[in-house]
Amino acid sequence: MLYIIAFIFGSIWGSFSNVCIHRIPKNMGIIKDRSICPNCQKMIKWYDNIPLLSFIILKAQCRNCSADISWNYFVVELIAAISFVIIFYFFGISLTTLLFFILSICFIVIFFIDLKHFIIPNEITYPLMVIGFLKSFDPNLNTNLFPNFLNSLIGGLFGFAIIWLIIFIYKKLRNKEGMGLGDAKLLSAMGFWFGWVSIPFIIFFSSAIALLSVIPDLIKNKKKLSSQIPFGPHLIIGNIIFITFVDQIKLFLI
């Protein structure tokens, strides 16, 4: 029963994530306006806005104009729902679960915004930095996952500095921007959450995944090494890999 509740709760927050993904890049209000169909501009009724179910019942079409509804909405809600179930499975009813619920929703919003718009909104990264640092003062949290306040502070500064340094050196060498400060702020937030030791592993995992993802396009000449790619999603995947294998990583370092 608790897993079902976690799934439903996650799908609801997934629906909210969709609102953020759609509205933040357009500087629209997140909660003050009701959702409307982008095609016919008619307001979507509450019973047509039930996470996951409405998409299935309506067969991915608007009730009013029969315009296709993007599968992205369903995918985001499903990812959020499954994420909440997985988090609850590992951490049960705890503060750690609540923290990871927050982190997962923020990661989902950043992932899809950066993937489409090549931006990482400050509205998400700044609160993540604050939460990541404040939680480090709680000695009762899982110390294997979360650092103390000193390691958290060093991690936040280290994460920002290393991306800023890459940007600075690349601009000096190529006279153009290589990465954005949004990536630096995101990696800084990850450093605040998981400490300085996480930064090298997140960079390694994310860089490897980014390279593997563009190799097919490089071979087909669809992209060049200088082509712009959204790095935020790769940082997020790298961070998830670090969290998944944190025990093995720390055993390796001992």
**21 near 48, Cβ under 8 Å?**
no
Residue 150 has pLDDT above 90, yes or no: yes
Question: What is the pLDDT at residue 229?
Answer: 83
Residue 231 has pLDDT above 70, yes or no: yes
More confident residue, 94 or 64: 94
Q: Alpha helices of the chain — where are they, by DSSP H?
A: 2-23, 53-57, 71-91, 95-117, 122-134, 149-174, 181-194, 198-219, 232-244, 246-253
Task: Collapse the DSSP code of 222 into the 3-class scheme (helix H, G, I; strand E, B; otherwise coil) and give the result.
Answer: coil
Domain boundaries, the chain: 1-93, 121-254
Instruction: Tell me the pLDDT of the chain averaged across its residues.
Output: 89
Taking residues 113-126, report their average pLDDT.
94
Q: Which residues pair with 116 in a beta bridge?
A: none
Q: Alpha helices of 118-231 — where are they, by DSSP H?
A: 122-134, 149-174, 181-194, 198-219
Provide the percentage of residues in the chain whose pLDDT is more than 70: 96
Taking residues 78-103, report their average pLDDT.
96
Q: Which residues pair with 61 in a beta bridge?
A: 68
Residue 250 has pLDDT above 90, yes or no: no
Taking residues 29-47, report their average pLDDT.
76
Nearest to 18 by CA among 5, 8, 7, 31: 31
Taking residues 63-79, report their average pLDDT.
89
Residue 189 has pLDDT above 80, yes or no: yes
- Beta-carbon contacts of 158 under 8 Å, excluding residues fewer than 6 positions away, are 191, 196, 199
**109 near 18, Cβ under 8 Å?**
no
**101 near 65, Cβ under 8 Å?**
no
More confident residue, 125 or 216: 125
Taking residues 178-183, report their average pLDDT.
82
Question: What is the pLDDT at residue 226?
Answer: 60
